[in-house]
Amino acid sequence: MLLENRNAIVTGGSQGIGTAISLELAREGANVCLTYRKHENEAMAIVGQIKEMGRKALAVKCDISVFAEAEAAVRQALAEFKKIDVLVNNAGMNWDAVSWKMTEEQWDRVIDVNLKGYFNFVRQVAPLFKEQKSGKIINITSINGLRGKFGQTNYSASKAGIIGFTKALAKELGAFGVNVNAVAPGLIETSMLRENEAKDKIIEMALNEIVMKRIGQPEDLANVVAFLASEKARHVTGEVIKVDGGQYI
């Protein structure tokens, strides 16, 4: 197993991509603390699945955009695991509108969750990783942070910010044995997509771009995250790895 006896935090682990990441890290041997904001029942179900694998697990309610709540979540993970080895910043949101109709609230909320939320957790674990001279940080961004997307200036800006954040962190923490990377998915089939009224149009548009002519699954992303969290990726840092089936080349 790639992550035997490692301890990981996964933000937004109660649904979709975050769930797939949490379960894959556990399959590879890691104990997992996952955060959630609204979906408590789903989070507890994932905790149960992880414990059935023989790993430790806990779910912590947390609005990642609130610094004190991020601090408390990491404190709970430390109390349970005694050490943190991996942070996966995954939780995020979108609130779409064209720029000339976007409200200040739409802009601020997406930036606060998608960008500040990542900083809030990094600020807690970076001193720990620096002191122990080891650690893995994986930030989930998006191909739309690389190319932009119509109607998503707030989301695209936040995801582009994560890329710059990742590269700067890699430079700051590399000397202490800490790897920092980002994973940029294209369209991934999650419950959010399946429940979208416009899902057929969204999928059709994406398939016209995707050279492999298939929609990505959460597991496609989780497998890459597990690799980056392991020592097999010990010489990889500051990278942005697209998992998009060639949607953006």
- Residues marked as catalytic: 155
Let me know the angle formed at the C-alpha of 21 by 19 and 23, rounded to the nearest 5 degrees. 70
Phi, psi (deg, nearest 5) at residue 52: -65, -25
Check: CB of residue 149 under 8 Å from CB of residue 155: yes
Beta-sheet pairing, 57-61 with 135-140: unpaired
Burial class (CB within 10 angstroms; exposed 0-12, middle 13-18, buried 19+) of 26: buried
Which residues touch 65 (CB under 8 Å, ≥6 apart)? 109, 112, 113, 116, 117, 120
Look up residue 232 and give its DSSP letter.
G
In whole angstroms, give the CA distance from residue 146 to residue 68.
30
Would you give the DSSP letter of residue 186? -
